[in-house]
Structure 1
């Protein structure tokens, strides 16, 4: 069977229901769906174990910060790949910055260990059950998470800048 976005989405919805899967999009040819943190592990486990789908390769897992989205400021994005069918799927989970907690995926994918540590390091998302959730690229003494959009990108008080030099 050739995997298409329609039949993969149909299998997922028939298994998990429309209450747990929403915002199915196809922005760049990759099926992109949104789910919740309660369903993410069982969803990825299903994609991995299903003999028809065989989506068994974790391409990437990372964090995204959307400070303007109230109660959905943080996002954990997973990209999975079926090497057998050359099919990709992207799954997003939005969580509030007041509760930055996700379950770990290390029991299924060993590679998620470093990806989760990087996401923790840069965005402060805590992965429960992770075997060694420590910073991976920044120093342990760092008291903030540098990829959170909490500070302006440039110093607004500088007087030595001429906007025309910066294409403004």
Structure 2
């Protein structure tokens, strides 16, 4: 039997999920598929149970403040037997950051989702214990959101005339 490759995996996913695979790309050889939040648990379960992606490497988020102001919830899973990885992305709006919890597929998703909640404020629906894990409990902001400027605009030590420009 041939070793599973990105094209075969993409074919299996598009055969099974059809239009719910909204787009795909292959940056640096890593297959990345985009889907919607309604089908994410089914897709993760299919990858684990039918294709052998038994290792959940990471769950995180990326905030894209320009344009649509969305979060991309990113899942990395690994098939250890075939030594192939895949990245799954789901876009959700910042105004309603809710997505189903992957703890129903992998118990280890618990802490990854808590970290993503802690830094981005993404609500993982159905999570058994969604609370802050690294920041203070009474903290009211989510530090990885790109809602604030990177530097204080009032700082004078960064002005061009100090550097001869």
- Residue 156 of structure 1, CA deviation: 1.0
TM-score by length of 2: 0.94
* Equivalent in the alignment of 2:65: 67
Query: Distance between the aligned counterparts of 2:138 and 2:42, measured in 1?
Result: 35
What SS is found at the alignment partner of 1:9? helix
Match of 1:57 among 32, 46, 55: 55
- 1:59-112 deviation per Cα after TM superposition (whole angstroms, max 9, x unaligned): 111011001131x51110000000000000000000011110010011211211
Query: Distance between the aligned counterparts of 1:163 and 1:48, measured in 2?
Result: 54
Does 2:147 correspond to 1:150? Answer: yes
Greater share of residues in helix: 2
Give structure 1 stretches of 5+ with no counterpart.
none
- Residue 161 of structure 1, CA deviation: 2.6
Give structure 2 stretches of 5+ with no counterpart.
none
- Residue 162 of structure 1, CA deviation: 4.8
Runs of 4+ in 1 over 4 A off after TM superposition: 162-166
Aligned residues: 163
* Equivalent in the alignment of 1:32: 32
- 1:4-31 deviation per Cα after TM superposition (whole angstroms, max 9, x unaligned): 11110001111011x2002210011110
- 1:18-62 deviation per Cα after TM superposition (whole angstroms, max 9, x unaligned): x20022100111100100000100001001111xx2111001110
1:96-115 to 2 correspondences below 5 Å: 96-115=93-112
What SS is found at the alignment partner of 1:74? strand
- Residue 119 of structure 1, CA deviation: 0.5
